[in-house]
């Protein structure tokens, strides 16, 4: 790549800050209209459109330059710094209102490709330049955000090369997004089946008909304070699966205990993931040996019980966790998928009922959670029906981890010219790891 640096001010048509906080109040939000962006929409390379708040078209018109359009770049200047994303040409909406913590950039698209521009600022060098004027007092912020951003210099090859580089990286991102959509749909279908069988109690009866709808007997449970199918029992969680492990953190003063090959699961690793395929922290063999009784095997259920209770995920390797998680090692294989969805529902229902967040659930509280226990043959049938879908989600998640690693490597190599466009194809064949299945 051409190492000549171009000042950002020379390749932009417009740059503007978001509205004042007082300009958008809670009472301004409506159910439909022009979407208002926040930090959750800027967590990737391009705009994430999973959830929005809205203002009316009339209200949006009052913001003038705080309206972002397709092709624009949106950058966080206060709060979670380092976020930068572009609005793709196929976005759901024509216009978006940026928040008071963001600014927008309209590029001269005859000179620069928006995707390339954003990809550069996701490299380590790009982040360094973006955050060069970070203030460390109070809420993290970029000093004189728009003024200083215009002074940033970036390497800028010709437009065709920019588009080629962006196309290579975008193809990997598109595959990651596709896998995520497939996983979300498969998990939604699995949850629907769980609700049908174990909430509505229309699991197949002996004749293969829906139990409750076909007149199956329902009785009152004093333990759960609701009706349940006749013959089903209620037990404490540790009576269903006895092996419950509370995690622990080795002494952080000994650096030799960390940065090894053993996954060390924390809350952030479980958030949003059915399968925990990657952890931010790892333990060395020495560190893990210091607490060898804290090992949990592949396929265990990890549940966060402190700070953000009720996040649930499956381990994909032999692992350890910190003290904020309790893990269930399922000796009865048919319990695994059922308990995964049961615990998600338990925490969701308990929070809605009590209005609290269970900021601290110790092992005793966790072990004594009341669990409705269906007949074993029903759990086996449920597990058999879901097994292929759960394993498909797992393998998509593993593939995404590989694709993400490849993308991040190519991002740096393409941007600094160590790999040229065209040469990247030999790196696009991701090394195929053995497919992982939980098995029966």
Cα separation, 160 vs 252, in Å, equals: 49
DSSP, residue by residue, 47-66: ---S--EEE-HHHHHTTGGG
Q: What is the pLDDT of residue 21?
A: 74
Q: Averaged in consecutive runs of 10 residues, what is the pLDDT profile of the chain (440 residues)?
A: 82 94 84 94 93 94 93 96 96 96 97 97 95 88 96 95 94 95 97 98 96 97 96 97 96 95 96 94 96 96 92 97 96 97 92 54 94 97 97 96 93 86 55 51
Q: Would 434 be classed as within a structural domain?
A: no
Query: What tokens appear for 171 in the block?
Result: 């193809």
Q: What is the CATH number of the domain that holds 68?
A: 3.90.220.20
Do residues 142 and 239 share a domain? no
Would residue 187 count as lying in a domain? no
**What local confidence, expressed as pLDDT, does residue 292 receive?**
94
Is residue 74 within 8 Å of 44, Cβ to Cβ? no
Q: Which of 103, 128, 121, 129 is nearest to 166 (CA)?
A: 121
Q: Are residues 14 and 146 in the same domain?
A: yes
Number of structural domains (the chain) is 2
The domain boundary residue, chosen from 138, 156, 174: 156
Q: Which residue, 315, 348, 373, sits at the end of a domain?
A: 373
Does the residue 83 lie in any domain?
yes
DSSP string, 308-353: STT-EEEESSSBEE-TTEEEE--SSTTHHHHHHHHHHHHHHHHHHH
Residue 439 lies in a domain: no
Whether residues 117 and 246 share a domain: the answer is no
- Is 180 among the domain residues? no
Let me know whether 152 and 284 are in one domain. no
Q: Are 35 and 52 in contact (CB under 8 A)?
A: yes
Q: Which of 349, 373, 397 is the last residue of a domain?
A: 373
**pLDDT score, position 439:** 54
**Quick one: how far is CA 29 from the chain centroid?**
26
pTM of the model: 0.86
Residue 41 and residue 141 in one domain: yes
Does 228 fall in a domain?
no
Q: Which two tokens stand for residue 6?
A: 């171009």
Strand intervals (E) in 168-223: 218-221
Do residue 136 and residue 251 come from a single domain? no
Exposure on the CB side of residue 353, measured as CA atoms within 13 A: 8
What counts of helices (H) and strands (E) characterise the chain? 11, 24
- Same domain (yes/no): 151, 244: no
- Residue 400 included in any domain: no
- In a domain, residue 349? The reply is yes
Say if residue 152 is in the same domain as residue 278: no
Sequence-distant (6+) residues with CB within 8 A of 216 are 201, 205, 229, 230
Residue 9's domain comprises 5-156
**Which token pair is 76?**
């966080």
């Amino acid at each position: 790549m051409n190492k000549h640096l171009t000042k950002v001010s020379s390749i932009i048509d417009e740059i503007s800050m978001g509205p004042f906080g007082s300009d958008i109040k809670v009472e301004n939000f409506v159910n439909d209209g022009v979407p208002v962006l926040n930090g959750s929409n800027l967590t990737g390379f391009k705009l994430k459109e999973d959830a929005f708040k809205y203002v009316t078209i009339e209200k949006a018109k009052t913001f003038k330059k705080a309206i972002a359009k397709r092709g624009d770049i949106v950058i966080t200047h206060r709060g979670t710094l380092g976020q930068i994303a572009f609005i793709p040409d196929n976005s759901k909406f024509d216009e978006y209102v940026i928040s008071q913590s963001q600014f927008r950039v309209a590029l001269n698209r005859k000179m620069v490709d928006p995707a390339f521009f954003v990809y550069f600022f996701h490299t380590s060098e790009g982040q360094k330049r973006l955050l060069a004027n970070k203030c460390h007092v109070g809420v993290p912020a970029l000093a004189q955000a728009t003024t200083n951003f215009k002074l940033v210099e970036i390497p800028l090859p010709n437009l065709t090369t920019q588009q080629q580089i962006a196309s290579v990286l975008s193809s990997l991102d598109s595959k990651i997004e596709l896998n995520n959509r497939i996983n979300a749909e498969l998990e939604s279908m699995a949850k629907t089946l769980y609700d049908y069988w174990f909430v509505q109690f229309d699991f197949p009866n002996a004749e293969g008909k829906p139990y409750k709808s076909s007149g199956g007997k329902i009785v009152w449970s004093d333990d759960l304070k609701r009706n349940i199918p006749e013959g089903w029992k209620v037990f404490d969680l540790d009576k269903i699966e006895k092996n419950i492990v509370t995690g622990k953190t080795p002494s952080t003063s000994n650096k030799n205990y960390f940065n090894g090959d053993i996954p060390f699961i924390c809350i952030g690793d479980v958030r949003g993931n059915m399968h925990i395929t990657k952890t931010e922290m790892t333990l060395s063999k020495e560190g893990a040996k210091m607490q060898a009784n804290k090992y949990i095997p592949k396929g265990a259920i990890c549940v966060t019980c402190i700070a953000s209770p009720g996040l649930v995920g499956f381990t994909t390797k032999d692992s350890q966790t910190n003290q904020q998680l309790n893990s269930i090692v399922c000796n009865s294989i048919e319990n695994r998928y059922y308990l995964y969805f049961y615990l998600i529902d338990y925490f969701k229902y308990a929070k809605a009922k009590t209005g609290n967040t269970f900021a601290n659930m110790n092992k005793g509280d966790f072990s004594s959670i009341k669990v409705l226990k269906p007949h074993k043959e029903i759990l086996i049938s449920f597990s058999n029906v879901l097994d292929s879908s759960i394993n498909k989600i797992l393998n998509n998640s593993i593939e995404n981890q590989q694709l993400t690693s490849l993308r991040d490597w190519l991002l740096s190599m393409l941007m600094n010219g160590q790999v040229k466009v065209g040469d990247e194809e030999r790196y696009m064949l991701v090394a195929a790891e053995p497919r992982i299945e939980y098995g029966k």
